[in-house]
Amino acid sequence: MARRHFAQSAHSKAVKRIRILEPTRRRRKPCAPETIRGNTLHRQCPAPAPDPDPDPDPDPTPIDPRTILPSPTLSLPGGYYPKTDFDLSVTIGNAPDPSIGKIIYSIDNKGWNDYAGETLRIKRDNELRAQAIALDTANYRNSGVTYGFYTIPTPPTLPTPIFNLYGGGYPRQSFPLALSLNNRPDASIANALYRLDKGAWLPYSGPFSVAKNTQVEAQYDSLDKDIYRSSSIRKEYYYPVATDLDGNVTASFHDAKGGKELMAEVTDGGTFFSHGNPQMNLGGEIIDAGEPNTLRIEPHHFSNITHGQSFKLADLYYHNGTTFNDSHATAVQLEMTIALANPNQNITFNLKFDLVNTENSADPNASADCVRLTNLTQNIGLVIDDVNYTLQLQFGGTDSFGFSSFDEFHVYEGATGRGAINATFITRP
C-alpha cells in the first residue's frame, strides 16, 4: 500500500508539472481511466490532434499579355471656345492600323459610329467620345476613351445699376425726387429697366420721378446672354424725413417709490421733487442735516430740428442732500409732453429714473449720488408722412458739480448739479 501510494504521489507531481507546461490555447481530450499493471499506475491519454493545414495562397491575377491600343486624339481638345467659332470642326487622329483595329466615336451619347477620317461638326455644349477598338483580339485590347466637352466661356455679368441718389431719408419738401442711372451700359448691350413699388418693369430713357415712401428697383437686361449676363437688381427705398420740427416741452414728476419710511413731495406744478428726511431723533436730540435730496426739471423749447439731430429737451437740477432712516426715494417718473407745431401733434411719454444714494466716503466720485435713466428709447407714436419716429434719450453735459454718462447723471455730495436731458428723433421707415 505504501508503494502504491508513493507511485500515485509521484504521478500526481508529474501531472501537475505537465499542466504547468501545457499550452492554454488548445484543449486536449480527457485521459482514459487509470489502470494498474504490476506495481505501476498507468493513465492512457490520446495523442494531440495535429494543427490544421494553413489556407492556400490565392491564385495570382492573370496578366493579359495583349497590347493595349493607343487612345485616339482630337484635333481640338474639349474646352471653352468663342461663341462665333461654333460649329467646331474636329477630326480624330492616332488611328490604329486597319488590320488590327478601328476608331469609333459618339456625340452626346447618341450611339457609336465607325470613324472613317471625316470632319465632325461639333455644336456648342456637345460632348465627343472616341475609342480604338481591337479587331485582332488575340494580340490587342481596346484603348481607353478620349473625351471632350465643348462650350463657350462663362460670360461676364453686367454691373449692378447705380442711382444718382442713395436710398434713404430725404427732406420732405424735396419730394418728388428725380432719379437717374449713373452707369447705364450701351443700348446695344442691354436694356435698362426700372419699376416702382413692385409694379411693371419700364424701359429707362432718362430721369424719372419718385414720390414719398417709394421702393425703386433697376436692372440691366442683357440682349445677348451668351456675351453678358443680366445684372443683379438694385433695390432702394426713399422716404421723407422732418427737417423743421418745432415744439414746446412741459414736464411733471410723479409716482415716487421707496422704502416704508419714504418721505416725498412734488411741488411747483410738478417740476420740483424732494425726497428723504434730513432729520433724525437721537433719544430726544434732533439731528438736522439740512436739505433733503431734490430734483427740479426746467423744460426747453426747440426749433428747426431734423431727424438724427440731438437737441435739449430740458435741464435737470439735482441736489445731493443727506437723509436718514431709509426715507429717500429709490425711483420716480417724469411725464413729459412735446407740443409740436408742424405737424400739430402732442407727444406724451414717461421717463423712468432710478435714484441711487451712495454711502459717503473720502472719494468724491464714489460719494456722488446718481440719477439713472432706465428707458432711453421712447416709442412716442409720432407719424409724419407715413413715417414712424422714436425718441432716443440720453444725459448730456453737466456743470462742474457733477458728471454724466449716457444714462447716468452724478452729483457730488452736498452739491446741486445741472445736467441736460437730450433727445434725438429717429425715423423708422
DSSP string, 163-190: BSS-SEEEEGGGPSEEE-BSSPPPTTTE
Q: Is residue 91 part of a domain?
A: yes
| 101-146 pLDDT per residue, tens | 999 999 999 999 999 999 999 999 999 999 999 999 999 999 999 9
Q: Does residue 371 lie within any of the structural domains?
A: yes
* pLDDT above 70 (res 55): yes
Same domain, 172 and 224: yes
Which residue type does 199 have? G
**Whether residues 81 and 184 fall in one domain:** no
- The pLDDT, as a whole number, for residue 18 is 42
Q: Does residue 202 share a domain with residue 76?
A: no
Instruction: Say how far residue 317 (Cα) sits from the centre of its chain.
Output: 45
CA atoms of 258 and 274, how far apart (whole Å): 13
Greater model confidence, 365 or 149? 149
Using pLDDT thresholds of 50, 70 and 90, give the confidence band for residue 405. Answer: confident
Residue 23 lies in a domain: no
Count of domains forming the chain: 3
Task: Point out the domain boundary residue: 239, 268, 289.
Answer: 239
pLDDT surpasses 80 at 393: yes
139 is a domain residue:
yes
Q: Do the Cβ atoms of 255 and 282 come closer than 8 Å?
A: no
User: What integer is the mean pLDDT of 89-104?
Assistant: 97
pLDDT at residue 397 in the model: 84
Task: Decide: 114 and 96 in contact? Cβ < 8 Å.
Answer: no
What does the pLDDT read at residue 47?
Answer: 63
**E strand spans, 28-145:** 35-37, 40-42, 67-68, 73-74, 79-80, 88-90, 92-93, 101-107, 113-114, 120-122, 126-134, 140-141
**What pLDDT does residue 41 have?**
53
Domain-embedded: residue 88: yes
CATH for 111: 2.60.40
Q: pTM for the whole thing?
A: 0.65
Domain assignment present for residue 101? The answer is yes
Q: Residue 7 has what pLDDT?
A: 36
Task: Tell me how far apart the alpha carbons of residues 119 and 199 are, in angstroms, rounded to a whole number.
Answer: 53
Domain for residue 352, yes or no?
yes
Residue 395 within any structural domain of the chain: yes
Residue 279 cell numbers, joined: 432729520
Given this model, what pLDDT does residue 4 score? 39
User: Looking at residue 414, what is its pLDDT?
Assistant: 86
Domain boundary among 207, 239, 271: 239
In Å, how far are 162, 341, 351, 386 from 382, measured between CA atoms?
Answer: 33, 13, 17, 10
Nearest to 374 by CA among 343, 426, 334: 334
Higher pLDDT, 322 or 202: 202
Give the pLDDT score at 34.
56
Rounded Cα gap, residues 251 and 313, in angstroms = 10
User: Are 348 and 294 in a shared domain?
Assistant: yes
**For residue range 225-245, what is the model confidence (pLDDT) as tens digits?**
999 999 999 999 999 999 999
Average pLDDT, integer, range 70-98? 96
Contact status, residue 158 vs residue 230, Cβ threshold 8 Å: yes
Rounded-to-integer distance, Cα 292 and Cα 328, Å: 8
CA distances from 244 to 188, 212, 327, 418 (A): 47, 17, 45, 28
Domain end marker among 239, 255, 274: 239
Contact 425, 314 (CB under 8 A): no
| Cis preceding linkage at 207, omega within 30 | no
Whole-number Å distance between alpha carbons of 71 and 105: 12
Q: State the pLDDT at residue 31.
A: 56
Domain identity same for 362 and 291: yes
Residues facing residue 210 across a β-bridge? 177
- Regarding whether 268 and 214 lie in a shared domain, the answer is no
The Cα–Cα gap between 394 and 311 comes to 10
Rounded mean pLDDT, 344-370: 87
Domain check: are 350 and 409 in the same one? yes
Three-class SS state of 145:
coil
End-to-end CA distance of the chain: 119
Domain that holds residue 77: 67-151
Residues 228, 344 share a domain: no
Question: Do 174 and 298 belong to one domain?
Answer: no
Same-domain pairing of 290 and 259 = yes
pLDDT at residue 15 above 80? Answer: no
- The pLDDT assigned to 37 comes to 55
- In 272-402, alpha helices (H): 364-367
134-160 burial string, b = 16+ CB within 10 Å, else e? beeeeebebbeebebebebeeeeebee
**148 and 142 in contact (C-beta within 8 Å)?**
no
CA-wise closest residue to 295 among 374, 373, 391, 406 = 373
Q: Is 260 in the same domain as 405?
A: yes
Distance CA(167)–CA(155), nearest Å, equals: 30
Q: In this structure, what C-alpha cell is assigned to residue 60?
A: 495570382
| 54 band by pLDDT with thresholds 50, 70 and 90 | confident
pLDDT band at 56 (very low <50, low <70, confident <90, very high): confident
Q: Are 127 and 78 in contact (CB under 8 A)?
A: yes
Cα–Cα distance measured from residue 378 to residue 392, given in angstroms and rounded to the nearest whole number? 6
- Span 35-57, average pLDDT: 65
- 269 and 179 in one domain? no
pLDDT recorded at residue 21: 46
Residue showing cell 505501476 = 40
